[in-house]
Amino acid sequence: MKASSGLGRLPELALRERRKGLAQRLPPVTEILRGSLLQRYVTCGNPACKCAKGERHGPIWYLTVTLGPGRTAGGIVAPEKVAEVRAWIENYRQLKDRLEQISDINRELLRRQRARQRQRRPKR
């Protein structure tokens, strides 16, 4: 959520309830996977194989994860695991999105707390 999402207009109780609801809807942390799932068709290099004539092998499912600038890791995913891996990747995206929303709410709550403290200070 960005500042334009209207958090500043919501009462504090509504912000706390929204934060609680987001936290309750977090996906299970044991079912999280960061990465991308790619479908590939490959050639094996054997000149007598059907893939040498254009009929490539596949689909082969491949998980790729960026570790840092210019560094990736990955591996082949068994066809029977593709649905589970997709769900885990979606869980990661949901977790990341909801954590951002919770962070935005917490930032707004802190901003309000600072504003209240400034109002309470005696003027010199």
pLDDT at 72: 93
**Within a domain: 23:** yes
Integer Cα distance of 15 and 18 in angstroms: 5
pLDDT tens digits, 45-90: 898 998 888 889 989 999 999 998 989 999 999 999 999 999 999 9
pLDDT at 4: 44
The set of residues, in sequence order, having a beta carbon less than 8 Å from that of 77 and lying 6+ positions away, is 37, 61, 62, 63, 85
Integer Cα distance of 101 and 99 in angstroms: 5
Range in 6-10, 62-66, 96-100, 119-123 with the lowest mean pLDDT: 119-123
- φ, ψ of residue 96 to 5 degrees: the values are -60, -45
**In whole angstroms, what separates CA 6 from the centre of its chain?**
23
Question: DSSP code of 63?
Answer: E
**Within a domain: 2:** no
> Residue 1: pLDDT band by 50, 70, 90 thresholds?
very low
Domain holding 62, by residue range, is 11-120
**Within a domain: 6:** no
**Within a domain: 91:** yes
Alpha-helical (H) ranges within 1-124 are: 12-24, 82-120
> Residue 124: pLDDT band by 50, 70, 90 thresholds?
low
**Within a domain: 77:** yes
**Within a domain: 1:** no
Q: Domain tally for the chain?
A: 1
The pLDDT of residue 112 is above 80? yes
pLDDT tens digits, 10-40: 999 999 999 999 999 999 999 999 999 999 9
Question: DSSP code of 87?
Answer: H
**Within a domain: 4:** no
Q: How does strand 36-42 pair with strand 71-77?
A: unpaired
Residue 98 one-letter amino acid:
R
Count, residues in the chain: 124
